[in-house]
Amino acid sequence: MTNGNSSLSDAEIAALARRIDRPIVLVGMMGVGKSTVGRKLAGLLHLPFADADDEIEKAAQMPITEIFERFGEDYFRDGERRVIDRMMDEQPSVIATGGGAFCQEDTRALLLDKAITVWLDCDTDTLVERVSRKDTRPLLRDGDPREIITRLKREREPHYSQAPIHVTSKAGPHQQAAMRILKAIDQWL
């Protein structure tokens, strides 16, 4: 890997891609950029990308907000675990999970066992700014987003910290976060 340089050469990325033998799964708070950075990462590695939330909606044939409203969070989390488990049987890929997935003990154990798990992290101000752009987050519907994000971040960090790889996403191009993930995976493998 290139020392001190913020990017890796195509040859270095290709060599790393050949060493990846299972899914790379991004975990972390809503709004941290798991889907956006995940797509960029998948493109760099020439791997397929999947968003677990999209796969859950396809399986349930309804939006996540409706699953929460009709059946509750426990029902959603059980379905989420089953969908993610199916996704683990696939070849190397990049998968973005929902913010609460890794906080569920069974899902966390599954990902730690079958995936290269990366905790994508960022500061609270950035999270609040990003999640305020959309009104599709069921856990943010009933209250002040900053207060909810701060509480969720505090509650979830002990779970996220169990991921073997921790990368901080900063303001700036998602390419930079993807490159930081590549370097961290390279060191971890």
pTM of the entire structure? Answer: 0.89
Instruction: State both tokens at 37.
Output: 């950075």
Do you know the residue count of the chain? 189
- Looking at residue 184, its pLDDT comes to 95
Domains in the chain, start-ordered, CATH in brackets?
10-188 (3.40.50.300)
Q: How far apart, in whole angstroms, are the C-alpha atoms of residue 139 and residue 120?
A: 19
Nearest to 136 by CA among 58, 25, 31: 31
- Looking at residue 137, its pLDDT comes to 55
User: Per-block average pLDDT, block size 10, for the chain (189 residues)?
Assistant: 60 94 95 93 96 94 91 91 89 93 95 96 85 60 79 94 93 85 94
